[in-house]
Amino acid sequence: MVIDYLHRNFIFADVGIAFAYGNHSMSISVADLLASLLQQLVRRKGILSPELRHVYQIHTDGGTRPMIDTLSALLQTESKDLPAVYIVLDALDEFTEDDQYCLLREVGKLGSVLRLLITSRPGLYIHRTVQKTFPDSTVMEIRAIEGDIEKYVRLRLEKELVGSGSAYLLDSVQRAIVARSHGM
What is the reported pLDDT for 182?
Answer: 63
What are φ and ψ of residue 88, in 5° steps?
Answer: -115, 125
What is the reported pLDDT for 64?
Answer: 95
What DSSP string describes 14-36?
A: --EEEEEE--TTS---HHHHHHH
What are φ and ψ of residue 111, in 5° steps?
Answer: 70, -140
Strands 114-118 and 85-90 turn out to be: parallel
Topology, domain 2-133: Rossmann fold (3.40.50)
Give 10-residue mean pLDDT values along the chain (184 residues): 88 90 83 96 91 95 96 96 94 86 95 92 74 82 76 78 66 74 63
What are φ and ψ of residue 77, in 5° steps?
Answer: -60, -45
The answer to whether 86 and 79 are in contact (CB under 8 A) is: no
What is the reported pLDDT for 150?
Answer: 79
pTM listed for this prediction:
0.78
What is the reported pLDDT for 117?
Answer: 92
- Domain layout of the chain by residue ranges: 2-133, 146-181
Neighbours of 85 (CB within 10 A): 24
What is the reported pLDDT for 51?
Answer: 94
